[in-house]
Amino acid sequence: MASNSKESSYSVAEMIAQKRGKGFNRSFEKSIPWILFAIAGVSVLTTIGIVFTLIFETFTFFSRVSVFDFITGTEWFPFSIQNPSYGILPLISGTLKITGIAVVVAVPIGLASAIYLSEYATDRSRRFIKPILEVLAGIPTIVFGFFALTFVTPLLKSFIPSLSIFNALSPGIVVGIMIIPMIASLSEDAMSSVPNSIREGAQALGATKLEVALKVVLPAAVSGIVASIVLAISRAIGETMIVTVAAGASPNLSWNVTDSIQTMTAYIVQVSTGDAGYGTTIYYSIYAVGFTLFLFTLGMNLLAQYISKRFREEY
């Protein structure tokens, strides 16, 4: 037996040596890191190209429109022939209204779903519910948009007669429904990573299952939960088709959720459909708005990473 084992090990070592001796294989192995580096570099170069394009075109816009007027202006009428206005505050106001409504809808439902999946659901229930959440996350946003326009808005109008056909409330609720899976899934993963020994210790001290979930597991997983909420907010800020279909195209600087509004993404869609000629100020305004939107989402993503690292618990 010992002899056979020795011969087997020798033959394997000999085969490895023979493989290494082949020039083609050695060259191929040496080229693999460079190939993988080139593939990884594509994403980096793409990001750099997008940022460079945004910055370059945004500077072109600000060579025609004052930066101060753009940031502090309260009127957004770029299509006005006599006196166009490029104050972005109405678009930011509309974006924040949609985001605020979405957060109010998504955070309680998403956290409740995560707590149930992590602390109460059986394996069978979890295998049934999680795929449904994933299917909800895979629904195209244009479908959500028409759902908001043709179902949610008429339903809300029966309770709020003054509600406009295009409004902030309906798409805000539907955007909240859209980001529920993100909050629920990421929060459930964070809560599931909390060791069972912590739960068992709390229960041994007399805590109920609800107390363990709310006072032990939830604080222990707070970094992942807050990061999931921040990422969901970032997703809501960048949502395009739902607000384009159901929110309207009226940039108003007000906090009335029953009136038509326009968000930054909806304006970009409006101009991109051909309402402005290439090289005009209106054309370059979509890059300025896009750069503003980029700063919002970048800030939210950096905040999520900071929270995740700052409050992460190691077990």
Is 186 within a domain? yes
Interval 43-82: pLDDT, tens? 888 988 888 888 888 998 888 888 888 888 888 888 877 7
CA distance 251 to 166: 12
Residue 287's nearest CA partner among 49, 54, 86 is 54
Q: Which domain holds residue 22?
A: 2-63
**Spatial CB neighbours of 122, under 8 Å, sequence gap ≥ 6:** none
Tokens of 272: 């991109």
In the predicted structure, residue 131 carries a pLDDT above the cut 90: no
- 59 & 81 share domain: no
Burial class (CB in 10 A: 0-12, 13-18, 19+), 203: middle
- 216 & 256 share domain: yes
- 122 & 235 share domain: yes
- 37 & 144 share domain: no
User: What are the C-alpha distances in Å from 200 to residues 107, 172, 313?
Assistant: 27, 40, 18
Which DSSP string do the residues of 80-122 spell out, in sequence order? Answer: -SSS-EE--HHHHHHHHHHHHHHHHHHHHHHHHHHHIIIII--
Is 70 within a domain? no
pLDDT of residue 127: 84
Instruction: Match 């006005």 to its residue by tokens.
Output: 80
- 178 & 281 share domain: yes
Assessment of whether the complete model's pTM goes beyond 0.85: no
CA distance 262 to 254: 11
Q: Where among 10, 36, 63 does a domain terminate?
A: 63
Interval 210-238: pLDDT, tens? 888 888 888 888 888 888 898 899 889 98
- 108 & 181 share domain: yes
- Per the prediction, the chain carries an average pLDDT of 83
Tokens of 90: 């109405």
- 141 & 22 share domain: no
CA distance 123 to 64: 61
pLDDT of residue 136: 82
Is 71 within a domain? no
* Ranges assigned E (strand) in 177-294: none
76 phi/psi in degrees, rounded to 5: -125, 95
- 116 & 46 share domain: no
Model confidence at 1, in pLDDT bands (50, 70, 90)? very low
Model confidence at 111, in pLDDT bands (50, 70, 90)? very high
Number of domains observed in the structure of the chain:
2
Model confidence at 34, in pLDDT bands (50, 70, 90)? confident
CA distance 84 to 145: 30
Tokens of 147: 């759902």
Residue pair 238/293 in contact (Cβ under 8 Å)? The answer is yes
CA distance 44 to 19: 35
Is 303 within a domain? yes
Tokens of 156: 């809300």
CA distance 269 to 277: 14
CA distance 271 to 24: 54
Is 264 within a domain? yes
CATH number at residue 163: 1.10.3720.10
In the predicted structure, residue 266 carries a pLDDT above the cut 70: yes
Q: Where among 31, 63, 95 does a domain terminate?
A: 63
- 85 & 141 share domain: yes
Residue 269's nearest CA partner among 297, 248, 300 is 248
- 179 & 39 share domain: no
- 285 & 138 share domain: yes
Is 275 within a domain? yes
Q: Where among 63, 92, 109 does a domain terminate?
A: 63
Residue 289's nearest CA partner among 302, 305, 276 is 276
Is 68 within a domain? no
pLDDT of residue 97: 92
- 93 & 21 share domain: no
**Spatial CB neighbours of 101, under 8 Å, sequence gap ≥ 6:** 168, 169, 172, 173, 175, 176, 257
